[in-house]
Amino acid sequence: MSTPATIMLPAVDRAAAVTETPLGRLTVPAQVLPERRVTVDLTTLLALRDAARSAAANAHAPYSRFTVGAAAIMADDPQRRMIIGANVENATYGATICAERTALAQAAALGFRRVELLAVSCTQALDAPLADRSPCGICRQTIAEFASDDPPTLVLVDGGGADAIGDLLDIDRLLPHGFRLR
Ligand SMILES: [Zn+2]
């Protein structure tokens, strides 16, 4: 069963702020994004979110106890399987890898390079504000590495209450001014 829905990602229109200082110009860059309409299948989105929630049960998080699961569908995977990940912490802390990156690393190892949908579930923080349950900076950059415009990569952040599916972001809204190598 599929339940298609058109979702509107709102425009962002923030002008740059430029300050001429005695030591040189300082710019707070503009952020201008047009409104964007995307079509998602809600049945798939919910299944992916539930897969991310389930994957969190396998998190190796003995230090933080902050369990996170992720699940991705890759646009270049003809089988459109749900590829899961969970955070894997390490006693050295620095060797820790987040759920989003374990999922994308697995997808890459399977030969896929374009993420279409990625759900992330911080199961200890589902009722928390978005910043407490959304991808970290390294993960945003990693998601951007495998992002595509068509279909647009969408990231679902689990949470927001019992009646919510979650928060939906595209790459431009997830990682403004993200680095890219051209
Ligand atoms: Zn992360």
CATH number of domain containing 118: 3.40.140.10
Average pLDDT, the chain: 97
Query: Does residue 154 fall inside a structural domain?
Result: yes
pLDDT tens digits, one per residue of 110-151: 999 999 999 999 999 999 999 999 999 999 999 999 999 999
Q: Residue 70: is its pLDDT beyond 90?
A: yes
Q: State residue 52's pLDDT score.
A: 98
pTM value > 0.75: yes
**Contact indicator for 120, 100 with CB cutoff of 8 Å:** yes
- Report the separation in Å between the CA atom of 20 and the middle of ligand 1, taken as the mean of its atom positions: 36
Query: Does residue 97 fall inside a structural domain?
Result: yes
- Report the separation in Å between the CA atom of 133 and the middle of ligand 1, taken as the mean of its atom positions: 10
H-helix or E-strand containing 84?
strand 83-86
Q: Mean per-residue pLDDT for 12-29? A: 98
Q: State residue 1's pLDDT score.
A: 85
Query: Does residue 68 fall inside a structural domain?
Result: yes
Q: Residue 182: is its pLDDT beyond 90?
A: no
CA distance linking residue 141 with residue 117, whole number of Å: 15
**Contact indicator for 115, 104 with CB cutoff of 8 Å:** yes
Query: Does residue 27 fall inside a structural domain?
Result: no
Give yes or no: 100 in active site.
yes
Query: Does residue 28 fall inside a structural domain?
Result: no
**Domain coverage including residue 71:** 40-174
Q: Mean per-residue pLDDT for 152-165? A: 96
Token pair of 172 as six digits:
């431009």
Count structural domains, the chain.
1
H-helix or E-strand containing 144?
helix 137-145
Catalytic residue among 20, 35, 100, 116: 100
Query: Does residue 12 fall inside a structural domain?
Result: no
- Report the separation in Å between the CA atom of 136 and the middle of ligand 1, taken as the mean of its atom positions: 4
Query: Does residue 8 fall inside a structural domain?
Result: no
Phi, psi of 105 (to 5 degrees): -65, -40
**Percent over 90 (pLDDT), the chain:** 99
